[in-house]
Structure 1
Amino acid sequence: MTNVSRETFDEVMVPNYSPLKIIPVKGEGCKLWDKDGTEYIDFAGGIAVNALGHCHPELVAALKEQGEKLWHLSNVFTNEPALELAQKLVDGTFADRVFFANSGGEANEAAFKLARKYASENFGPEKNEIISFKQSFHGRTLFTVSVGGQPKYTQGFEPLPQGITHLEYNNIEMLENAVSENTCAIVLEPVQGEGGIIPADKAFVEKVRELCDKYDAVMILDEIQTGMGRTGELFAYMLHGIEPDVLTSAKALGGGFPIGAMLAKQKFADALKIGTHGSTYGGNPLGCAVASKAFDIISNPAVLTGVKEKRVLFETKLQMINEKYEVFDEVRGEGLLVGAALNEKYLGRARDFMVAALEQNLMILMAGPNVVRMAPSLLVSEAEIEQGMAALEKAVAKVVA
């Protein structure tokens, strides 16, 4: 079917998205091409998904090889790619056990159910409160969107799951006053993604760990966006010198192939006994084979070091743009999760910058209306960063004109 266009979307798709005008049809590394053959630099990465760029040859080879062997089995059986990937995740992190899903939302759903189940079995049904944070984002299922701290995503879907408290992110005093014996879990993003690329303070993360230990609550880190090398560490918790009890991963885990995972310490994982949770496609051989290869590449120390080095170049270039046009209040985030917060004069105009960048053949993102977000391939070259930043400067010039 070659006669589809952007207008086809409006004719046949549910209108919950509003995609931009172009339709990409081919990708290679940090480059994309649309139906007309126009070339773009991709600093969006499918919202931090394409951690190794588009169509990385080793991921393509892994997919082709597994595609000729085995695609799907029910959970009556296990499979070699799932076991190999789980072993790598256990060996490379704090975790003892892994549960595979298809997405970040599913991984978080599993984590929140696990926390409630663990608390109920060990302490009683009254220990059910989940503490989350305002402006957080944890998925689009009814449970995960309720745990998320953005009311715009829950409006119209009431009644919502109960027993969820939302506090100010990075507010230690408020956290200390809120946690109680009835708290079963505290869940946070090491860097709030959709909430504006806001990193957690080290002291705040340490306090969450301390309070979870004190009140027998499960510490859950949502690393859907920060995990798999995005911050320059394999997972962002490694920046803080603490270990969570449960961690969720997706997005970059499959390098573009849909897969999610919940990682857990043994005593918490034991709560999900046979039949308590499941996923038809979770842990399928295709997804796990691709993710296993992605893990091998991303966990290479040279790749992780490169992320930190490229971060410096992004900050330098953004500072140079800002010195000329005065549009950003600050640059924040970690590694190649880059957030350029707009200053007071340009509040609410992040989409304008995103659209202007596309007109300059550069793909970037928003993190809310006030933050320009970039999450390029971890393998982006310095030359590509230079080219992309030159395009961004032209876009900024157009917006401020």
Structure 2
Amino acid sequence: MASAIYQLGEQVLISAFNRSPIVLSHGLGVRVWDTDGKPYLDFLGGFAVNTLGHCHPRVVKAVAEQADKLIHSSNLFYNEPSVRLAQLLTEHGAGDRIFFCPSGAEAVEAALKLARKYAYRQGERQKTRFVTALRSYHGRTFGALAASGKPEMQEGFGPLPEGFRYIPYNDLDALERAMDSSVCAVILEPVQGEAGAHVGSREFLRGARELCDRHGALLIFDEIQTGMGRTGAFFAYEHVGVKPDILTLAKGLSGGMPNAALAATDRVASAFRPGDHGATFGANPVVCAAGIATVETIVENDLLRHVREVGDYLIDRLRYLQTVRPNIADVRGRGLLIAVELSTDNKPVARLAAERGLLVAAGVGNTLRLLPPFIITKQDVDEALSILDSALRDALVTA
């Protein structure tokens, strides 16, 4: 059955992904099963989406109950789940006001538009430029792609929107040189996830806040991957005590359902007026109900503390593994956003791990990205690293 589905997918789907021949059937908790019944320990988590693991009962219940009442309406009307979820996000530090949309790239597009519109409303129409970081990843729509400091991703899609300057990440001097009166906003990831879990230093992120204040620019934090507890705090900015003017969220927001949000301070949010932006599927009541269940579960089960504890354990175990496996060059990350940089090709390691029942992502360069759900235990970590150890050993032998 798996082979037939894979072959059909190769015929009818656009080849925009390097898909594995694994065909997944169902999941529960930290595990998924393929159509042949083989189980996998999932340390990929849908690229940091499955915050509570697969089919968490509280999320499933919320989705089912809301789908039985109202699946979709329109943003011409309020619906209770979206208002309640927005309230929860503001209470936990996302910002003062929330705009929901279906995907992270759309949240970034909204953030870029809001920053420019804010400068326009302030009468500073020369402020149209953005400063962003090399290696950053903000999405694949035109504006988000232009904001991403990855020339290899931009190739063939030009001309992209103008007005973006790129600086090395964690280089405060370079950021200071890039700032002038034409900059409307600086957009940064507090941890560069897709680039391989590069953590923003306290000096860099605090310096970015100070430079934005000095030059009258806004600070945008892209927390699409880091937000909702992935780093052990609801938002990664909390680790350094630097609050942005605009925040973007997605991935783990609704426990596996497609949801994203733009958050902003009252002052900045007021720049958007009716007709300035929209999202047909934004504030969908079903995905927002899933978001409420996700946030409440994180809070009531003290999962932020658990993410810190099990994340530290995972990083410590990986660093021990580094001492016995010469193909591990570095281990980086915060909470349960972790990268293992290899000195050899990462793809054979990811493939061998999958064959032995562990799903990890072969990231940029030679990194392996580990983004497990918040509910993993130390026993799950031990099982995963036993598989990863054997994959690293055998990949080195066959290299």
TM-score (norm 2): 0.97
Residue deviations 1:125-145, cap 9 Å, x none?
221010001000001101100
Amino acid in structure 2 at the alignment position of 1:188: L
Residue equivalent to 1:367: 363
- State whether residues 94 and 243 of structure 1, in contact with CA within 8 Å, keep that contact through their aligned partners in structure 2: no
2:322–2:330: 8 Å Cα contact kept in structure 1? Answer: no
**What is the rounded CA distance, in whole Å, between the counterparts of 2:157 and 2:126 in structure 1?**
25
Amino acid at match of 2:271: A
Instruction: Give the total of aligned pairs.
Output: 397
Contact map agreement 1:234 1:298 (CA 8 A) in 2: no
Find the aligned partners of 1:247 and 1:94 in 2 and give their Cα distance: 7
* Root-mean-square deviation over aligned CA pairs: 1.3
Letter aligned with residue 311 of structure 1: G
Aligned to 2:258: 258
**Alpha-carbon deviation of 1:316?**
2.5
What is the TM-score when the length of structure 1 is the normalising length? 0.97
Q: Which residue is 2:113 aligned to?
A: 113
* Matching residue of 1:64: 64
What one-letter code is carried by the residue in structure 2 that aligns with 1:31? R
1:135-180 alpha-carbon deviations (Å, 9 max, x no partner): 0000110110011000121111111100110111000111111101
Aligned residue for 1:229, secondary structure, equals coil
Return 5+ residue gaps in structure 2 as ranges. Answer: none
- Contact preservation (8 Å) 1:43, 1:374: yes
1:395 aligns with 2:381: no
Q: Which amino acid is the alignment partner of residue 131 of structure 2?
A: I
Q: Quick check: 1:230–1:307 contact (8 Å CA) kept in 2?
A: yes
Taking a change above 3 Å as real, the CA distance of residues 161 and 350 of structure 1, as seen in their structure-2 partners, is same
Q: Which residue of 2 aligns with 1:25?
A: 25
* CA distance in 1: counterparts of 2:177 and 2:143, whole angstroms: 25
Cα 1:192/1:3, change in 2 over 3 Å: closer
Does structure 1 retain, via aligned residues, the 8 Å contact 2:223–2:236? yes
How many percent of aligned residue pairs carry the same amino acid? 39
Instruction: Give the secondary-structure state (helix, strand or coil) at the position aligned to 1:117.
Output: helix
CA contact (8 A) 1:185 1:217 kept: yes
Kept in 2, the 8 Å contact 1:193–1:367? The answer is no
Contact 2:94–2:235, Cα closer than 8 Å, also in 1 = no
Distance in 2 separating the partners of 1:302 and 1:3: 42
What is the distance in 2 between the residues matched to 1:96 and 1:324?
Answer: 48
Which amino acid is the alignment partner of residue 387 of structure 1? E
* Shift of residue 82, structure 1, vs aligned partner: 0.4
**Which residue is 2:242 aligned to?**
242
| CA contact 1:50–1:256 (8 Å) conserved in 2 | yes
Matched, 1:180 2:180: yes
User: Does the 8 A contact of 2:94 with 2:247 survive in 1?
Assistant: no
1-structure distance, mates of 2:33, 2:20: 14
1:309 corresponds in structure 2 to: 309
8 A Cα contact 1:23 1:34, kept in partner: yes
Name the CA shift for 1:67/1:94 in 2 (closer, same or farther; >3 Å): closer
Shift of 1:86: 0.5
Distance 1:225 1:143 in 2: 18
* Residues in 2 aligned to 1:171 and 1:55: alpha-carbon distance in whole angstroms: 41
Unaligned runs of 5+ in 1: none
**Structure 1's 301 and 364: CA in aligned 2 closer, same or farther, altered over 3 A?**
same
In structure 2, how many angstroms separate the alpha carbons of the residues matched to 1:243 and 1:3? 49
Q: Hey, what's the Cα distance between the residues in 1 that align with 2:320 and 2:201?
A: 27
1:354 and 2:350 aligned: yes
Q: Mapping of 1:275-286 within 5 angstroms? A: 275-286=275-286
SS at 2:302 equivalent: helix
> 2:373 is matched with which residue: 355, 370, 377?
377
Taking the aligned partners of 1:94 and 1:261, their CA distance within structure 2 comes to 10
Kept after mapping to 1: 8 A contact 2:191/2:199? yes
Deviations 1:40-69 (A, max 9, x none): 100000011101000000000000110110
CA distance in 1, matches of 2:124, 2:157: 29
Question: 1:218 deviation in Å?
Answer: 0.9
Q: Please tell me the residue identity of whatever aligns with 2:333.
A: G
Give the whole-Å Cα distance in 2 for the aligned partners of 1:269 and 1:98: 8
Q: CA deviation at 1:18?
A: 1.8
Matched, 1:208 2:208: yes
